[in-house]
């Protein structure tokens, strides 16, 4: 029963994250790093659907994880890697928010809050978002570099590419989303909630 509840929380977080992606991040071209940042960039450059891009990245990294990482890393990422692209596809059919551009800053702050809550609970219950997280773990395993440093470097490179294609304003907005999200992630992970 506890495991079922944790998976329900995971699915809810993935669904909210997909809404955040399609209705705010993608609409505003906010490259916040990670797999979703890459999806926004590649969607802009090669016009592949973000759900397909995320699915391909997640599938490749899952295969890598099977061969090079412990089973717990692969199993923790399996559900997210398969379900998240599906939710991205399903929520892509929802009409954009009509007043998004008029209240951009409010929605950017909201995006950061959603990002922090969804990621925080995914980590809190020992799941993984898959994708580039697996690359971070792989580099850590073989080169013994701290995961936080690897994560920072990879995301910085992705955000830098976002700057080249979308400009400084959107890059600063992307960084604001990350800062707000990171604060909330730390609060959720540090908060002693009742175990499921």
* Per-residue exposure over 111-135, b if at least 16 CB sit within 10 Å of its own CB, e if not: bbbbbbbbbbbbbbbebbbbbbbbb
d(C-alpha 57, C-alpha 24), whole Å: 21
Q: What are phi and psi of 128, to 5 degrees?
A: -130, 150
* Predicted local confidence at residue 137, as pLDDT: 83
- Find out whether 162 and 45 touch, Cβ atoms under 8 Å: no
* Predicted local confidence at residue 192, as pLDDT: 54
* Predicted local confidence at residue 180, as pLDDT: 95
User: ∠ CA(93), CA(19), CA(191), 5° rounding?
Assistant: 165
Label residue 53 by pLDDT band (50, 70, 90).
very high
- Find out whether 125 and 53 touch, Cβ atoms under 8 Å: no
- How confident is the model over 125-135, as pLDDT tens digits? 878 778 888 88
The model's pTM is: 0.89
* Per-residue exposure over 47-81, b if at least 16 CB sit within 10 Å of its own CB, e if not: eeebbebbbebbeebbeebeeebeeebbebbbbbb
Label residue 167 by pLDDT band (50, 70, 90).
very high
d(C-alpha 81, C-alpha 65), whole Å: 12
The structure tokens listed for 88 are 């991205």
pLDDT at 68 over 60: yes
d(C-alpha 155, C-alpha 33), whole Å: 4
């Amino acid at each position: 029963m506890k495991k079922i509840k944790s998976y329900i929380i995971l699915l809810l977080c993935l669904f909210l994250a997909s809404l955040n992606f399609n209705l705010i991040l993608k609409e505003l071209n906010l490259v916040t790093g990670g797999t979703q940042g890459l999806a926004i960039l590649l969607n802009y450059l090669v016009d592949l659907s973000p759900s397909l891009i995320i699915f391909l990245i997640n599938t490749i990294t899952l295969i890598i994880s099977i061969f090079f990482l412990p089973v717990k890393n692969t199993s923790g990422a399996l559900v997210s890697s398969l379900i998240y692209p599906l939710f991205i596809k399903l929520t892509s059919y929802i009409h954009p928010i009509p007043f998004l551009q008029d209240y951009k800053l409010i929605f950017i702050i909201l995006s950061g809050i959603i990002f922090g809550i969804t990621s925080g609970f995914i980590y809190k219950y020992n799941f993984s978002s898959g994708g580039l997280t697996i690359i971070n773990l792989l580099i850590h395993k073989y080169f013994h570099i701290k995961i936080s440093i690897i994560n920072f470097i990879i995301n910085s490179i992705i955000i830098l590419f976002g700057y080249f294609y979308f400009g400084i304003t959107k890059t600063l907005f992307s960084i604001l989303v990350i800062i707000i999200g990171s604060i909330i992630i730390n609060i959720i992970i540090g908060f002693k909630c009742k175990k499921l």
